[in-house]
Amino acid sequence: MKHLLHALEGRLANLPVPLAVELPAGRQLGAPNPAVTLRFRDRLALVALASGEIGRVGAAIVEGRVALEGGMRDLMAAAAGLLIRDPARDEHHGWWQRVLARARSMAAHTLAHDARHVQFHYDLSDAFYALWLDPRRVYSCAYYRTPDLSLAQAQEAKLDHICRKLRLSPGERFLDIGAGWGGLLLWSAEHYGVDATGITLSRNQHAHVQQLIQARGLEGRVRVQLCDYRELQVAQPFDKIASVGMFEHVGRAQMERYFGTVARLLRPGGLVLNHGITAGGVDNAQLGAGMGEFVEQYIFPGGELLHVSTVLHDMARAGLEMVDTENLRPHYARTLWAWSDGLEAQLPAARAVLAETVGDNDAERILRAYRLYLAGSALGFERGWMALHQMLASKPHGGAGTGPLAGAQSDYPFTRDYMYAPS
C-alpha cells in the first residue's frame, strides 16, 4: 500500500488541475488548495485510484464510498492524468475468450433483455432528461456546422444533415429505428414531406412521440410503434432508413442479424444511414480502466461498442454498400459537455424530479452516476477513446445502367456536394 500511495503522490503532483485526496484516516495527499477533492472512506476505492482504475473510483463515488467536491470539468481533467494506461488500447484475445464474449453477447441481447436494458435507461424520467437536453430532446451527437451554434441549433443541424445525406423527398417511406423522443421522425415529416415510421422499445418515448404526432396533426403520415427491430414486419420496404444512437444496444453477436434486418426492410436502390458510437480500439470489447464496467452497471446495461471497421464488415456482409462515412467524434465531445454543463446548472431540480420517481436515496445515486457518465463520456470522445460515425450505405439494385451516375445502382449520386451545400 505504501508503494501505491507513493506512486499516487507523484501523479498528483503533475496533474493539470490541482487535486487533493483525503485518506480514510484523515491524511491528505496532493494540492493544498485543490480545485477537486476526493474524500475516501474505504481502502479498496483508494487502491483503485492508485492503480489507475478510474471507473471503479467512479462507482465508489456513486455508492457514497468516496465523497466528491469540485466541478465535473476539473475532475475529468484530473482523471485523465491519473490513468496509467490507455483505456482504448487494443486487447488481443485468444479464440476461447472470443467464444465466451460472443456467448455473453448472445445471452445479453434477447428480445426480453434488450427491452429491459432500453427501459432501464430511457424510461428513467422524461422530466430528468428534459432538464439538460435540447427542447426536442435529441439524445445523440449534435452537428456543429458552424462553431457559434447553440446545442439546440446544432441538434437541428444534425437532424437536417441526416435527412440531406439520405436525400429524403416528399412521399418517400422513411423508417427511424430507435426513434427516441421523435426529433428526427418529426423533422423528416415536417421539413421533407416523408411518410415516417418510428420504432422504439421505450414506453416513455413511445407515449411522448404519440402525443407530439397528435398535437401537430401528423396522424396518417407519421406513426411510432413500440417494438423491437427484429419484430418489425411491413407490407412493402422503405425507401430510406435511419438508425441514430441505437446500434450501440444491438450487441456484437447480433450485428449481422441487425444489418440483415435493415437490408430486408430497405427497397433495392434505397439508402440507410447508421449513426452511432464506435470503439476507439480495434479489438477491445469495452473501455479499460474500469470505465466499461461503470457504464454497464449504472447507465447502459448490455451496451457494446465495435470499431468502425467491424461495423462496415458486418454491413457489407448484409449486402449493403458503404458510400460515405463521416467521423463526428469532436462534435460528440462538445455535445456531451453541453449536456454535462446543463445538468450541473440544474442539480437541485434534477435531484427533485428523480426523487419523485425513485425516492431520495436512489435519486442521489443516479444523479452522481449521470454526472460522472456525461462528463466522462465527453472526456472519452475528446481523447479518442470512442468515436461517432455516420455510415451511409445503399442497397444496390443490380441495374448498372440506371441511377444518377452510370453504375450507381442506387439513389446515391456519388458526389458529396448535396450534403454540404447551403440550405
Instruction: Report the 3 state secondary structure along 110-155.
Output: CHHHHHHHHHHHHCCCHHHHHHHCCCCCCCCCCCCCCCCCCHHHHH
**Dihedral sign, Cα of residue 193, residue 197, residue 199, residue 205:** positive
* Spatial contact of 175 and 238, defined as CB atoms under 8 Å apart: yes
Cβ–Cβ under 8 Å, residues 37 and 20: yes
pLDDT attached to residue 87: 78
* Residue pointed to by grid coordinates 404519440: 210
Q: Which pLDDT value is given to residue 368?
A: 92
Tens digits of residue pLDDT in 252-311: 878 899 999 999 999 999 999 999 999 988 877 677 878 888 888 877 776 778 899 999
Supply the pTM of this predicted model.
0.92
pLDDT for position 35:
93
Residue 22 near residue 28, CB atoms below 8 Å: yes
CB 343 within 8 A of CB 370: yes
Q: What is the pLDDT of residue 109?
A: 57
CA distances from 185 to 177, 203, 213, 243, 263 (A): 10, 17, 10, 11, 20
3-state secondary structure (DSSP) of residue 214:
helix
Q: What is the DSSP letter of 230?
A: G
Alpha carbon dihedral 395, 390, 258, 383, in 10-degree steps, equals 150
Distance CA(303)–CA(295), nearest Å, equals: 8
Confidence (pLDDT) at 276: 94
Distance CA 29, CA 31 (A): 7
d(CA 226, CA 206): 6
Find cell 491519473 and name the residue: 82
Residue labelled with grid coordinates 437536417: 160
pLDDT by position in tens, the chain (length 423):
666 777 777 788 888 899 999 898 888 888 888 999 999 998 888 888 888 888 899 999 999 999 999 999 999 999 888 888 887 775 555 544 555 565 555 555 566 655 555 555 566 889 999 999 999 999 999 999 999 999 999 999 999 999 999 999 999 999 999 999 999 999 999 999 999 999 998 999 999 999 999 999 999 999 999 998 888 989 999 999 999 998 888 878 788 999 999 999 999 999 999 999 999 888 776 778 788 888 888 777 767 788 999 999 999 999 999 999 999 999 999 999 999 999 999 999 999 999 998 888 889 999 999 999 999 999 999 999 999 999 999 999 988 877 778 899 999 999 999 998 766
- Residue 142's alpha-carbon distances to 100, 248, 382, in angstroms, are 36, 17, 15
Q: Report pLDDT for 244.
A: 96
Closest CA to 5 of 56, 55, 40: 40
pLDDT at residue number 96: 47
CA distance 323 to 388: 17
Grid cell listed for 9: 503522490
User: Which positions ≥6 away from 43 have C-beta within 8 Å?
Assistant: 1, 24
Residues 6+ apart with CB under 8 A from 82: 11, 15, 49, 52, 54
